[in-house]
């Protein structure tokens, strides 16, 4: 066992998903990949990718990864930073001049906003670490996010292009002055727009040519082509009667064609194998199979805590929802970062970094233990079941060295 993990204890993972979720009708199916010291220690599949069509989950099933898109977009931006084309302290208005006079909400509604000036300009780093003052419409907390919903700003399936989203945002105030708080938001979609502006080419082309293709991520894209639709999973949610129902049918899904809105914050589909390639690149210090995307020092910078004052999410967040809210967790440049495992009340390591997606997918990378874990399923919303907490316990309970 060069990977130092107990096979018998790893087998508990699939049994747990089967007994407590799939057989109970709570999830359609799961895929779990656990790799340590460069070796896949466990690759387990349980249940179905599509219940109605009796399609089992397989190693090459294609999943909607939603916000697990964010780390790839963040890497794309940091590649441009490495090339000297941008800097973390660049004001965002340098690339989006229409944002120069955006103020902070104090009162009012669309057409009659009352605002106060920001304490400082929004910077590129604010977009990467979610301290920009932007929001998501689904936060449903203030008149600002209500304006996002009304304008269909940054919504999957929106008819607005990236440019249209940025133009719409110019008419809506910020939730708070940049750097003053943490709020999960469309900031990474804006990063995608910036990648396009700075590189001089469409964001989706830059991401494919500079990140996805060099890593050999052959099934990762913003849509599922016709020759791969048989591998595309259905997405589920609980219906009004509490039973599992189809949220997005893979034969009718908007993911079957390239959308008008290319979301760097949540638009990709992928496979476990593809995402493992991305995670290996990060764990290897920015390189994979003789292809270097980032330097080791840039990866170190991205996976450090960048929340002002060294705070964690519970101290700085005003977000009603994000893919991580635990004590002892900070935020880097595109990833949540574990600062103090004891405060999370979960086994793990300081320096782990991770994120998840709206359909309950998740991944984490633990450099201290040379560990990568990827979890795929298709169930919305991601905070309904404690899947990620249970998976962390199951994986770290399997250590045998």
Expressed as residue numbers, the domain containing 236 is 1-61+229-249+376-401
The DSSP result for 147-216, as a single string, is HHHHTTTT-TT-S--HHHHHHHHTTS-BSS-TTS-B---THHHHHHHHHHHHHTS-HHHHHIIIIITTTT
Q: Residue 12 falls within a domain, yes or no?
A: yes
Does the pTM surpass 0.95? The reply is: yes
Q: Residue 389 falls within a domain, yes or no?
A: yes
CB atoms inside a 10 Å sphere around CB 332? 21
Q: How far is CA 148 from CA 49, 116, 176, in A?
A: 33, 19, 15
Q: Report how far apart the first and last C-alpha atoms of the chain are (Å, whole number).
A: 9
Domain count of the chain? 1
Q: Residue 401 falls within a domain, yes or no?
A: yes
Q: Residue 40 falls within a domain, yes or no?
A: yes
Q: Residue 308 falls within a domain, yes or no?
A: no
Q: Residue 393 falls within a domain, yes or no?
A: yes
pLDDT by position in tens, the chain (length 401)? 689 999 999 999 999 999 999 999 999 999 999 999 999 999 999 999 999 999 999 999 999 999 999 999 999 999 999 999 999 999 999 999 999 999 999 999 998 999 999 999 999 999 999 999 999 999 988 999 999 999 889 887 778 899 999 999 999 999 999 999 999 999 999 999 999 999 999 999 999 999 999 999 999 999 999 999 999 999 999 998 889 999 999 999 999 999 999 999 999 999 999 999 999 999 999 999 999 999 999 999 999 999 999 999 999 999 988 887 789 999 999 999 999 999 999 999 999 999 999 999 999 999 999 999 999 999 999 999 999 999 999 999 999 99
CB atoms inside a 10 Å sphere around CB 380? 18
Contact 14, 27 (CB under 8 A): no
Mutual angle of helices 187-199 and 70-82, in 10-degree steps:
40
Q: Residue 262 falls within a domain, yes or no?
A: no
Q: Residue 384 falls within a domain, yes or no?
A: yes
Distance CA 255, CA 145 (A): 25
């Amino acid at each position: 066992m060069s990977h130092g993990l107990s096979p018998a204890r790893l087998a508990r993972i699939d049994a747990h998903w089967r007994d407590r979720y799939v057989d109970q009708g709570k999830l359609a199916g799961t895929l779990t990949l656990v790799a340590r010291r460069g070796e896949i220690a466990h690759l387990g599949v349980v249940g179905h990718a599509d219940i109605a069509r009796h399609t089992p989950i397989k190693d090459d099933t294609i999943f909607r990864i939603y916000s697990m898109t964010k780390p790839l977009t963040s890497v794309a931006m940091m590649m441009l930073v490495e090339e000297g084309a941008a800097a973390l302290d660049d004001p965002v208005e340098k690339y989006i001049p229409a944002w120069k006079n955006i103020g902070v909400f104090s009162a009012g509604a669309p057409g009659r906003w009352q605002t106060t000036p920001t304490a400082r300009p929004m910077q590129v780093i604010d977009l990467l670490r979610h301290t920009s003052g932007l929001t998501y419409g689904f936060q449903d907390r203030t008149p600002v996010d209500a304006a996002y919903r009304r304008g269909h700003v940054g919504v999957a399936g929106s008819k607005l292009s990236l440019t249209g989203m940025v133009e719409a945002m110019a008419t809506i105030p910020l939730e708070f002055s940049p750097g003053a708080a943490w709020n999960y938001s469309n900031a990474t979609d804006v990063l995608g727009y910036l990648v396009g502006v700075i590189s001089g080419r469409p964001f989706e082309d830059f991401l494919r040519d500079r990140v996805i293709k060099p890593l050999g991520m052959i099934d990762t894209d913003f849509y599922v082509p016709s020759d791969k639709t048989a591998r595309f999973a259905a997405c589920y949610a609980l219906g009004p009667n509490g039973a599992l129902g189809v949220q997005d049918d893979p034969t009718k899904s908007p993911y079957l064609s390239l959308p008008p809105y290319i979301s760097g914050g949540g638009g990709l589909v992928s496979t476990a194998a593809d995402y493992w390639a991305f995670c290996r690149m990060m764990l290897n210090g920015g390189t994979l199979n003789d292809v270097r995307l980032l330097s080791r020092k840039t990866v170190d910078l991205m996976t450090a805590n960048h929340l002002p004052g060294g705070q964690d999410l519970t101290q700085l967040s005003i977000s009603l929802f994000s893919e991580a809210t635990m004590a002892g967790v900070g935020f880097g440049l595109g990833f949540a970062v574990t600062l103090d495992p004891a405060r999370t009340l979960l086994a793990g390591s300081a320096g782990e970094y991770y994120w998840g997606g709206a359909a309950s997918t998740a991944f984490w990378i633990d450099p201290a233990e040379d560990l990568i874990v990827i979890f795929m399923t298709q169930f919305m919303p991601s905070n309904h079941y404690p899947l990620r907490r249970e998976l962390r316990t199951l994986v770290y309970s399997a250590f045998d060295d």
